[in-house]
């Protein structure tokens, strides 16, 4: 076993929160939450805070900021149940893997029992600072399926440095197993903070280490909070424009090694080269819309040894083998099989894959000039994205008049919502520099075209 490896997993982050805020004290007692629009609690909301040690600063702050009802638990304080403030309630209970009274006469309960006792169902934020008892409580919480509706999970993970080396290794292994089980449920670290009071010199490596890390996790499997079609239809034009650019201009999943393949300007595209997302040979790439520029197709083929199929009916070229692993097809992609008014042969992705005898696509790239609104809904409806690892495409809208702009922005938001529901999150967004306009709605300088780069977070996480 590589005994230094556990430190990599408790100190690194693997999902991006663009607006992380501290609630409560800056030192002990305070915790960080993700305040991104799709992750922040919306009132009415519920927070459980286990282990407060007389410090209500986080509990008070999260209640004040979001209007949440907060339930604080700590049997070590020797206080009876009471109402701490208008929305903060204290309980003389601890959390564990069973219902019992321990040798300190503390009443311990499972999360399931506590929720039942308090008549609660969905918890928005679950915070636990329970001094090694996370290894009792969290496996029980996982096994009882109590995390499925939790949006953010904040907890300390420990090991005891006073133990012998074998015991330390066992605790580290248990920690890795716990992180793996949480990942399998869709929980990814957006922030890690070493506890400054727990540094030691490792008996194993001799390196200066902390025996306690605060881990802050997002449930990326939780339903995204992109507004419904009805909500979007009731927005003002200004609200809709702002929301549109919030989602097409920001990223919401972390890629630590993003690389450019192909030309640095037009024709090139970025891919995520993180070990859990990069293509492994044998691999397959579909590239729709190349306009005589094979630079991306050649580069992705050379770097990963992928077989690449390039499609563009506008070029007027017959099917041919461009290079050893790159094949050109005189086809376009759409929502049905037909020949359009330009005499271009258009096919659905399902039909193309069937024609070429393909099943799994590693990277799907589309630069198809507004036809993403025909092709992608069909691809989503036909369940063709379930095995795609990375999706790269341009998203556009027409700006001829305000009404057209609003209709197409709403359509873009609905498309992004549907992709999120399948587990596709943006790791990079790039505004097309050739499509800037002055918005007729806000008067701001905007681009009508963004390149979006998405990862399928349901695949290839290790």
Reported as type and span, the H/E element at residue 194 is strand 187-194
pLDDT at position 15 over 90:
no
Instruction: Say if residue 452's pLDDT is above 90.
Output: yes
| Cα-based angle 409, 411, 416 (whole degrees, multiple of 5) | 95
Taking 70 as the threshold, does the pLDDT of residue 222 lie above it? no
With 70 as the cut, is the pLDDT of residue 266 above it? yes
The model carries a pTM of 0.63
**CATH T-level assignment (fold) for domain 258-456:** Rossmann fold (3.40.50)
Eight-state DSSP code of residue 94: E
Q: Is 40 helix (H, G, I), strand (E, B) or coil?
A: coil
Q: Is the pLDDT of residue 243 over 90?
A: no
Q: Please, which pLDDT band fits residue 196 given cuts at 50, 70 and 90?
A: low
pLDDT tens-place string over residues 20-48: 999 999 878 999 999 987 789 999 999 99
Cα(375)–Cα(369) distance, integer angstroms: 11
pLDDT number for residue 160: 65
Residue with tokens 């607006």: 19
Q: Which burial class, exposed, middle or buried, applies to 196 when counting CB atoms under 10 A from its CB (0-12, 13-18, 19+)?
A: exposed
Q: Report pLDDT for 7.
A: 40
Residue-wise burial string across 174-186, b where 16 or more C-beta atoms lie within 10 A, e elsewhere: bbbebbeebbebb
Residue 5 reports pLDDT greater than 50: no
CB atoms within 10 A of CB 94: 22
Q: What integer pLDDT is reported at residue 46 of this predicted model?
A: 98
Which range among 24-33, 216-225, 299-308, 420-429 shows the weakest confidence by mean pLDDT?
A: 216-225
Please tell me which residue, 14 or 254, carries the higher pLDDT value: 254
Kindly report which listed range (16-25, 137-146, 244-253, 416-425) carries the lowest average pLDDT score. Answer: 244-253
Mean pLDDT is lowest, of 22-36, 245-259, 379-393, for: 245-259
So what's the pLDDT on residue 6? 36
Is the pLDDT at 8 greater than 60, yes or no? no
The two counts, helices (H) then strands (E), for the chain are 11, 30
Q: Helix or strand or coil: residue 355?
A: helix
User: 54: phi > 0 → left, psi -120 to 50 → alpha, else beta; which?
Assistant: left
| 206 — pLDDT class (breaks 50, 70, 90) | low
- Residue pair 311/287 in contact (Cβ under 8 Å)? The answer is yes
Residue 381: C-alpha distances to residues 311, 375, 422 (Å): 22, 10, 11
pLDDT for position 63 = 98
Which pLDDT score is estimated for 2? 27
Share of the chain above pLDDT 70, in %: 90
How confident is the model over 111-168, as pLDDT tens digits?
999 999 999 999 999 999 998 889 899 999 999 999 999 999 999 886 665 667 777 6
Average confidence score pLDDT of the chain: 89
Task: Report, as an integer, the average pLDDT of 200-219.
Answer: 70
Q: Is the pLDDT of residue 265 over 90?
A: no
**Burial class for 80, CB neighbours closer than 10 Å (0-12, 13-18, 19+):** exposed
pLDDT in tens, 62-106: 999 999 999 999 999 999 999 999 999 999 999 999 999 999 999
Please state the rounded mean pLDDT for residues 420-447.
86
Bridge-based pairing of strands 187-194 and 212-219 is antiparallel
* Residue 201 scores a pLDDT above 60: no
Are the C-beta atoms of 166 and 150 separated by less than 8 Å?
no
Which CATH number applies to 6-224? 3.40.50
Per-residue pLDDT for 3 more than 50?
A: no
Instruction: Calculate the dihedral angle through the C-alpha atoms of 313, 316, 319, 323, rounding to the nearest 10 degrees.
Output: -100
Please state the domain extents for the chain: 6-224, 258-456
Tokens of 289: 């819309």
The secondary structure element, H or E, covering residue 142 is helix 134-143
Pick from 368, 373, 451: nearest CA to 408: 373
HSE at residue 444, side-chain half, CA atoms within 13 A, is 8
Beta bridge partners of 122: none
- Residue 293 pLDDT > 80: yes
Q: Are the C-beta atoms of residues 109 and 91 closer than 8 Å to each other?
A: no
Same fold, 6-224 and 258-456: yes
Distance between CA atoms of 61 and 84, rounded to whole angstroms?
Answer: 13
Q: According to the model, what pLDDT value does residue 286 have? A: 99
């Amino acid at each position: 076993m590589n005994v230094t490896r556990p430190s990599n997993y408790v100190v690194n982050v693997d999902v991006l929160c663009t607006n992380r805020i501290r609630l409560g004290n800056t030192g002990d007692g305070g915790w960080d939450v993700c305040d991104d629009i799709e992750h922040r609690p919306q009132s009415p909301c519920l927070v459980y805070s286990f282990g407060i040690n007389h410090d209500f600063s986080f509990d008070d702050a999260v209640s004040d900021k979001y209007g949440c009802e907060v339930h604080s638990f700590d049997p070590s304080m020797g206080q009876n149940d009471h109402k701490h403030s208008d929305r903060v309630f204290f309980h003389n209970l601890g959390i564990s893997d069973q219902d019992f009274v321990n040798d300190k006469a503390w009443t311990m309960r499972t999360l399931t029992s506590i929720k039942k006792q308090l008549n609660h169902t969905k918890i928005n934020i679950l915070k636990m600072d329970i001094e090694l008892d996370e290894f009792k409580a969290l496996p029980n919480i996982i096994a009882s399926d109590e995390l499925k509706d939790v949006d953010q999970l904040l907890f300390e993970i420990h090991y005891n440095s006073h133990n012998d080396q074998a015991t330390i290794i066992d605790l580290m292994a248990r920690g890795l197993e716990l992180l793996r089980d949480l990942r399998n449920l869709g929980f990814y670290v957006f922030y890690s903070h070493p506890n400054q009071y727990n540094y030691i010199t490792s008996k194993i490596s001799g390196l200066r280490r902390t025996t306690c890390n605060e881990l802050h996790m997002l449930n990326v499997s939780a339903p995204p909070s992109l507004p419904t079609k009805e909500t979007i239809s009731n927005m003002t034009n200004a609200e809709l424009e702002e929301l549109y650019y919030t989602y097409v201009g920001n990223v919401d999943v972390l890629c630590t090694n993003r690389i450019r393949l192909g030309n640095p300007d037009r024709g090139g595209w970025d891919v995520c080269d993180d070990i859990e997302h990069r293509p492994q040979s044998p691999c397959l790439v579909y590239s729709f819309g190349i306009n005589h520029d094979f630079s991306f197709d050649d580069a992705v083929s050379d770097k990963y040894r992928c077989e690449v199929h390039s499609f563009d009916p506008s070029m007027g070229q017959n099917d041919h083998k461009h290079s050893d692993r790159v094949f050109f097809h005189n086809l376009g992609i759409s929502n049905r099989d037909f020949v359009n008014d330009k005499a271009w042969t258009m096919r659905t992705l399902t039909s193309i894959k069937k024609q070429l005898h393909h099943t799994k696509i590693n990277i799907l790239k589309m630069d198809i000039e507004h036809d993403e609104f025909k092709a992608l809904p069909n691809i989503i409806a036909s369940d063709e994205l379930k095995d795609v690892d990375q999706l790269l495409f341009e998203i556009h809208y027409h700006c001829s008049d305000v009404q057209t702009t609003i209709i197409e922005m709403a359509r873009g938001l609905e498309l992004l919502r549907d992709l999120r529901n399948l587990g596709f999150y943006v790791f990079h967004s790039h505004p097309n520099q050739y499509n800037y306009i002055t918005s007729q709605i806000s008067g701001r300088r905007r681009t009508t075209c963004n390149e979006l780069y998405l990862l399928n977070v349901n695949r290839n996480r290790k």
